[in-house]
Amino acid sequence: MPIGPQRLLSAEVVLADLDGCLAIDNHPLPGAVDLARRLGSRLHIVSNNSTDTAERLSDVLAAGGIRIEAARIHLAGEILLRRLALERPGAPVSLAAAGEMPALAERLGILRRDEGAAIVALCRDTGFDYDRLQVIARLLAKGAELWVANPDMVHPGPDGLPVPETGSLLAAVHSVAPAAVPRIFGKPEAALFQAALDAARAKPQNAIMLGDNPSTDVAGAEALGIPALLIGPHRDAIARDLDSLLSLALETQGAIL
């Protein structure tokens, strides 16, 4: 059932996408700082980001005015690695990743090894190359599991042009291992949304999802019973950006009152 913009201000918890919604390249978009201030502890970020940790991202966003502690930031890459450490301790893992992910894997005690790896873990890897693809192809052919941070092909860059994401690497992997069935942790799958709901101790119907991607943010949330508000250039968006959405929410709230 469609929900009105005033739900943004009244919901028990607001789950918000990061790239293209709250920020671009971790720089706040119009309305993001105001939204974070108004919502306070009710705001949780759910992002398919698979290069940062919540701790680092919290610091980076705070420098731009979005103040949100790490406990309310839920990231696909970090969830993948923490699930690995919890569910498969000691399993040898071939990790394709960049940014903070290799160091986090080490801190979590994940055994990184290409030879004989039982699991291939795929995050956004800016150093991904032919040699890495060959390693992955051989491991999957030998029966290794495939764990993937997110299926996104691209995310928006600061110049508005697309930046390749984990899903584009997954497409390359599928070209050499078409039978591999990935276990995906990011949106639109349930794990990321559920992590935020658990952290907020909220039921799906008492939350809303705020995002700019109908196929990941909206479809993924609604599959769990979380109402969603779509912003951005899509024809079904309720507003073009957060600034416009906030204005609309305040006007609607005032009209109802």
Residues 129 and 195 in one domain: no
Residues 199 and 144 in one domain: no
Query: Is position 15 within any domain?
Result: yes
Of 184, 213, 248, which closes a domain?
A: 184
Residues 102 and 167 in one domain: yes
Band (104; pLDDT cuts 50, 70, 90): very high
Instruction: State the pTM of this model.
Output: 0.94
Instruction: Tell me the C-alpha distance between 174 and 142, whole Å.
Output: 15
For the ranges 1-10, 74-83, 219-228, the lowest mean pLDDT is seen at 1-10
Predicted local distance difference test score (pLDDT) of residue 3: 82
Query: Is position 79 within any domain?
Result: no
Residues 138 and 200 in one domain: no
Residues 35 and 12 in one domain: yes
Residues 109 and 124 in one domain: yes
Query: Is position 76 within any domain?
Result: no
Predicted local distance difference test score (pLDDT) of residue 156: 81
Residues 105 and 145 in one domain: yes
Mean pLDDT over 225-249 rounds to 94
Residues 236 and 160 in one domain: no
Predicted local distance difference test score (pLDDT) of residue 242: 95
Query: Is position 78 within any domain?
Result: no
Query: Is position 224 within any domain?
Result: yes
Q: What is the pLDDT of residues 30-60, one digit of tens each?
A: 999 999 999 999 999 999 999 999 999 999 9
Residue 215's region, left for phi above 0, alpha for psi from -120 to 50, else beta, is alpha
Residues 107 and 177 in one domain: yes
Predicted local distance difference test score (pLDDT) of residue 157: 82
Residue 108 Cα distances to 85, 88, 112, angstroms: 6, 12, 11
Predicted local distance difference test score (pLDDT) of residue 257: 39
Residue 1 has pLDDT above 60, yes or no: no
Torsion of CA 169, 172, 176, 178, to 10 degrees: 80
Predicted local distance difference test score (pLDDT) of residue 4: 86
Task: Give the 3-state secondary structure of the chain.
Answer: CCCCCCHHHHCCEEEECCECCCEECCEECCCHHHHHHHHHHHEEEEECCCCCCHHHHHHHHHHCCCCCCHHHEEEHHHHHHHHHHHHCCCCEEEEECCCCHHHHHHHCCCEECCCCCCEEEECCCCCCCHHHHHHHHHHHHCCCEEEECCCCCEEECCCCCEEECHHHHHHHHHHHCCCCCCEECCCCCHHHHHHHHHHHCCCHHHEEEEECCHHHHHHHHHHCCCCEEEECCCCCCCECCHHHHHHHHHHHHHHHC
Band (93; pLDDT cuts 50, 70, 90): very high
Band (160; pLDDT cuts 50, 70, 90): confident
Band (254; pLDDT cuts 50, 70, 90): low
Residues 191 and 175 in one domain: no
In the chain, the number of structural domains is 2
Of 140, 169, 184, which closes a domain?
A: 184
Q: What is the pLDDT of residues 170-197, one digit of tens each?
A: 999 999 999 999 999 999 999 999 999 9
Query: Is position 145 within any domain?
Result: yes
Task: Give yes or no for a contact between 181 and 201, defined as CB atoms under 8 angstroms apart.
Answer: no
Band (210; pLDDT cuts 50, 70, 90): very high
Mean residue pLDDT across the chain: 94
Q: What is the CATH number of the domain that holds 20?
A: 3.40.50.1000
Of 153, 184, 215, which closes a domain?
A: 184
Query: Is position 56 within any domain?
Result: no
Predicted local distance difference test score (pLDDT) of residue 155: 84
In percent, the amount of the chain with pLDDT more than 90 equals 89
**What is the extent of the structural domain holding 132?**
89-184
Residues 221 and 198 in one domain: yes
Residues 168 and 218 in one domain: no
Query: Is position 193 within any domain?
Result: yes
